[in-house]
Amino acid sequence: SATLRWGVPRPRAAKRVIVAQAGAGSYKVAILGAAGGVGEPLSLLIKMSPLVSALHLYDIATVNGVTADLSHCNTPVEVAGFTGKEELAGSLAGADVVVITAGVPRKPGMTLDDLFSTNAGIVKELVEAVADHAPGALIHIITNPVNSTVPIAAEVLKWKGAYDPRKLFGVTTLGVVRANAFVAATKGLPLADVDVPVVGGHAGTTIVPLLSKARPKAAFTDEEVEELTARVQNAGTEVVEAKAGAGSATLSMAYAAARFLEASLRGLDGDADVYECAYVQSQVVPELPFFASRVKLGREGVEEVVGSELRGLSEYEARALEALKPQLKASIDKGIALVQQQQ
Ligand code: NAD
Ligand code: LMR
């Protein structure tokens, strides 16, 4: 319950301890890049998760401070820190889910593709280690450019003989979180009720919120569709500019990643009807081997890629979907080529 998660004292303390232990989770999560702007608040949110038993924090920078700090929160999740490449294998041992958020963020004036040259190598190196030390784990990739880093991860895993497409995800939940927030504000709807599928990829115009499929059903004017779509597509840049050189979205990203992690763990746990949008290997758009759409999450990761939200699109959405194809395909091919050239 929310009370146990936050560790809020109850009147009868002795009973509280027993209930908290009975409710302790059983999943082990490793965060790679845990000392970063996304990694730190994400670690805090996972420390509060009732589904998690152990949280491993890994970074090339020291994680000793974050580990000590978090370990004082009176929630049952055990926290352990791993600093430097020699401790990477240890951080991955026994992980059910590995979240990769290591890598550089944007500064004003940069595109996500400008991060490719630095972050591709980081993701490649980390996914190799996951293949060696946590081969059955779900992998959640946050590191940008997600449109390319996920295909890179897939190629590395294939090369290592450890690729299971059901277990590899590009985390696009932030697009959904933003679309929900912006639509609720525009239409005056209760935040908790709004659910907007966001498909395509995770960079600029490859991000397509499907307002015609928003729940609850709402009528949008053409101007609203254009404004809301552009705002979701440019929301990352909005934060980069507001932070003025101090990085990109960290808090909203941590929130979104925690939401996606919770959904994945509920799927692993056997909960029925767990759906989230994510960037996965897919055949819903035949020319795009990776595509973000709604997926059903289950005991082995992706149980089903649900392409049905792509049927019956508005004309505006159908055009946006057609227009994103060349850019997304180029980003996918760039990632695949990088790994294949190096083999
Ligand atoms: P940051 O610079 O604050 O943190 C990155 C961390 O990665 C640092 O602690 C750094 O030491 C660590 N790191 C670098 N190389 C490493 C390696 N080889 N092994 C382990 N750790 C390593 O950046 P941030 O704000 O946390 O952003 C991280 C990444 O997440 C960026 O690429 C950013 O673009 C991306 N991001 C994605 C989304 C999304 O929606 N998918 C949203 C926000 C940020
Ligand atoms: C975001 O959507 O905020 C992230 O992908 C980070 C960025 O630089 O856009």
The preferred substitution site among 248, 250, 251 for testing ligand 2, maximizing ligand atoms within 8 Å of CB, is 248
Question: What residue ranges line ligand 1, CB within 6 angstroms?
Answer: 32-33, 35-39, 59-61, 101-106, 115, 119, 122, 125-126, 142-144, 146, 171, 174, 202, 247-250, 253
Nearest ligand, CA of residue 84?
1
CA of 292 to the centre of ligand 1 (A): 21
Which residue has a Cα nearest atom 2 of ligand 2? 236
Is 90:82 a contact under the CB 8 Å cutoff? yes
Pairing of strands 138-141, 198-200: unpaired
Which residue has a Cα nearest atom 7 of ligand 1? 102
- Residue 56 is a catalytic residue: no
CA of 280 to the centre of ligand 2 (A): 18
Tell me the pLDDT tens digit for each residue of 8-63.
444 444 444 433 444 468 999 999 999 999 999 999 999 999 999 999 999 999 99
Which residue has a Cα nearest atom 18 of ligand 1? 122
Average pLDDT across the chain, whole number: 93
Tell me the pLDDT tens digit for each residue of 262-278.
999 999 999 999 999 99
Enter the DSSP assignment of 220.
-
CA of 66 to the centre of ligand 1 (A): 16
Alpha carbon dihedral 181, 232, 36, 133, in 10-degree steps, equals 100
Q: In degrees rounded to 5, what are phi and psi of residue 99?
A: -105, 120
**What pLDDT is attached to residue 24?**
61
